[in-house]
Amino acid sequence: MNVDDIPAEVRWEIAAKSATALPVVYDMIFRKALGPKYDEIELPIWIEGGKEVKKIADALHLPSQSAREVSDAYGIVSKILFGPELRGKKMAEGDFKVVGRVTGCPLLNRALEMGVYPGVLLNACQAYSRSAVENLNPRYTHRHTRRMCAGDPYCEATIELRK
């Protein structure tokens, strides 16, 4: 048997689970060692991760001129990076504003599986999401209004023109 004998979707699922476990493991280990300084060190890493979304979207020739296109590009790249456990839908959309809802989050799943308090994901997720959206199109920004890792039944976020 070799890797090509394993269906691509299974390889993707395995890779995504491994990738989404890494930030949780880092949090478990480094938060103990660094204490409150951990968040200060971690956030720039997630911001850089958000910048990578733009590079991937460009490589895939995904448009990102309107809120709808930014949302679509962000969703496609995030699904590629985080895998099939990432699930959501748009609740409202237009050219200048999109409201989306995430109902399945692989990072939250990994935190819960590993017994890590899911609230540690709040700042990292916001930093990554805002960076991704603002790098896809600097005219737009991203903000969460609900978060599963804070106890909400789903995550809800708005992508809209900056004010």
| Domain boundaries of the chain, sorted by first residue | 3-161
The residue to which tokens 């099939």 are assigned = 84
Supply the pLDDT for residue 95.
84
| Residue 115 clears pLDDT 90, i.e. is over it | yes
Supply the pLDDT for residue 43.
94
Q: Are 111 and 149 in contact (CB under 8 A)?
A: yes
| Residue 36 clears pLDDT 90, i.e. is over it | no
> Taking residues 142-156, what's their average pLDDT?
96
Question: Which pair of structure tokens corresponds to residue 56?
Answer: 């991937």
Q: pLDDT per residue over 47-66, tens digit each? A: 999 999 999 999 999 999 99
Taken in order 58, 47, 66, 78, the sign of the CA dihedral is positive
**Residue 22: strand, helix, or coil:** helix
Per-residue pLDDT band at 15 (split at 50, 70, 90): very high
Residues 6+ apart with CB under 8 A from 70: 64, 98, 133, 136, 137, 140, 159
Supply the pLDDT for residue 120.
85
Q: What is the largest CA-CA distance in the chain?
A: 56
Give percent above pLDDT 90 in the chain. Answer: 86
Per-residue pLDDT band at 148 (split at 50, 70, 90): very high
Residue 70 CB-density burial (10 A; 0-12 exposed, 13-18 middle, 19+ buried):
buried
Give percent above pLDDT 70 in the chain. Answer: 100
Count of alpha carbons within 13 angstroms of residue 34, beta-carbon side: 13
> Taking residues 86-93, what's their average pLDDT?
96
CATH number for domain 3-161, candidates 3.30.1380, 3.30.70, 1.20.140, 3.30.450? 3.30.1380
